[in-house]
A and B are shown apart, each in its own frame.
Chain A
Amino acid sequence: MNNEMWAKLHGATVHFPIALILCSGVMDASGFCWPGLATRRGLNVAGYWTLMLGALGTVPAVVSGLVMSNGVMLGHDAMRFHHLFVWPAFALIVGLAVWRALAGDFATRKPPAGYLATVGLATALIMGAGYWGGEMMLGH
C-alpha cells in the first residue's frame, strides 16, 4: 500500500478516538457536576466504555500515522507541532484507560476530579494535534 492510502486511513481512523474521548469526558463531567442526576450511573458507565473504545482507537490512528510518514516521530514545522501534541495525548489516553480499568469497580462510580482534569488535558492536546494535522493537510 502506498503512503497516500495510509494518509486516507489516518484520516479515517483518527476521528474515532477524538470523538469517543471527548464524549467520555463530557459524560463523566456531567455525572460529576450533577451527582443527583437519575442517569448519573449510566453516564459514568458510558464514560468508562467510551474511554476504553477511544483508547483502543488510538492504536490504528497512531499506526496509520507512523506508516504514512514512514516512521517520523517528530519531523519539522507543522508535523513537529502535530507530534508534540500527539505523543503526550497518546500517553495520557493509554494511561487514563489503564488506570480506570485497574482502579476497581469504576465503571459505575464517578471518577475523581483529578481524573476529569487529566481527561480535560488530554482533550486539549487532541485538539492541538488536530489543529496542526489540519495545517499539514492544507499545506503552505
Chain B
Amino acid sequence: MNNLDESRPRPASPAGGKSIALAILAAALALASAFGLSMGLRRVESQTSHQQPTPEVWFESPTPTSPALVAQGRTLFLASCAHCHGADARGDEGPDLHDVRVSDRYIAHLITHGIPHEMPSFAKKHGAADITALTAYLRSLGNGSAFYCLVVRLRHGARWTATRSTSMSLMKTNGTRMPPRP
C-alpha cells in the first residue's frame, strides 16, 4: 500500500524536456508580468503631480524668465536633477516635471530643502540665481492648468505669459543654443 505510488507507471518522462520547457516559460512569463506591472506603475507615477495645485501660484509675484535664463536653467538641470527626473524632465526615479502645478516659492523651497528620503537638498549647490534659472526652465516645460495661465495672463499681461510658456521655442528662433543632451 505504501509503495503504491512508486509502483504505478511513471508519467512518460517526469523530468522530461516538455515540463522543463513549460516551467521555464512560466518563469519567463512571471518576470514579464512583473516588468509589465512595473512599467504601468512608473507611467502612472510619472503622470501624477505629487502636490496639489496651490492657490499660491495665482498670487505670488512670478519669477522672471527669458530664453537665456531657461537655457541656463536647463544646463543646471542636466547637471543636478536629470539623473532623477530624466534628461527631458519626463520623469525617471523622480516625477515628470512638465506642467508642475506648484508655486515658484514651493519650487525654491524644494530645491533648498529637498524632500526627506525622496530628493536631496541643494542648499549648498544652488543659490538664489540658480534657483531663478531652474524655475524659469521648469516653467518653460508648461504652466500647469489653463486656469493658472489665465490668471497670470490677467495679472501680468499677455507678453509675460507668452515668454514664460514659449521660452523654449523662442530659444530656437533667437538662435540661443540648447545645451547638448548628455
Contacts and interface: CB of A to CB of B under 8 A. Distances in A.
B14 A106 contact: yes
Interface stretch (A15-23, A24-32, A85-93, A125-133): A85-93
Contact of B37 (A66, A75, A95, A115): A66
Chain A interface, >50% SS class:
helix
B34 A99 contact: no
Given A41-B2, A104-B11, A62 B24 contact: no
B5 A73 contact: no
B30 interface: yes
Contacts of B27: 91-92, 94-95, 98
A71 B5 contact: no
Interface in B22-56: 22-24, 26-31, 34-35, 37-42, 45
B124 interface: no
A105 to B, nearest CB: 7
B181 interface: no
Contact of B30 (A66, A90, A115): A90
A107 to B, nearest CB: 9
Contacts of A104: 10-12, 14
A96 interface: yes
Interface in A90-129: 90-92, 94-99, 102-106, 108-109, 112, 114-115
B15 A114 contact: yes
Contact of A67 (B19, B39, B41, B93): B41
B8 interface: yes
Contacts of A105: 5, 8, 11
Given A71-B37, A91-B28, A102 B19 contact: yes
B41 A71 contact: yes
A41 to B, nearest CB: 7
A70 B14 contact: no
A91 B31 contact: yes
B35 A73 contact: yes
A90 to B, nearest CB: 6
Contacts of B20: 99
B41 A66 contact: yes
A12 interface: no
A5 interface: no
A96 B41 contact: no
B45 A102 contact: no
A99 B40 contact: no
Given A70-B45, A71-B41, A102-B18, 13 more contacts: A62-B34, A66-B38, A70-B41, A71-B37, A71-B38, A71-B42, A87-B34, A95-B24, A96-B23, A98-B26, A99-B22, A109-B5, A115-B15
